[in-house]
Amino acid sequence: METTIYKAVIEAFVKQLANVPRVASVAPFGACFSSKNIGSTRVGPAVPQIDPVLQSQNVYWAIFGANSMVQVGNDVMCMGCGWRLKPRDF
């Protein structure tokens, strides 16, 4: 994910989870939370769905909690896109 897009996604994701306590980041992940405050659904952790839109509003990639979050400790869950590329890396 290109760096500016990564930052925008993380910022929006953290804003949506404002009521969930943040915890210290665990490398390589940037946004980590107390998993004590994250419920569970049939599609993984109860976190905001990420819907990157591709060529039109009708074509998007739905990313649910099971694919966006990583349990990194007993009480710590991080947003799983810890990879970042600069535009020149493409």
Range of the domain at 43: 3-85
Do the domain assignments include residue 90?
no
User: CATH code at 69?
Assistant: 2.40.70.10
Number of separate domains in the chain: 1
Burial class (CB in 10 A: 0-12, 13-18, 19+), 68: buried
- Supply the pLDDT for residue 90: 46
Do the domain assignments include residue 48?
yes
Residues for the chain: how many in total? 90
Reading the chain (90 residues) residue by residue, the pLDDT tens digits are 677 887 888 899 999 999 999 999 988 888 999 999 999 999 999 999 988 888 888 888 888 899 899 999 999 999 987 555 555 554
Do the domain assignments include residue 79?
yes
Residue type at 65 in one-letter notation? G
Which pTM was predicted? Answer: 0.78
- Supply the pLDDT for residue 83: 56
- Supply the pLDDT for residue 86: 54
Do the domain assignments include residue 74?
yes
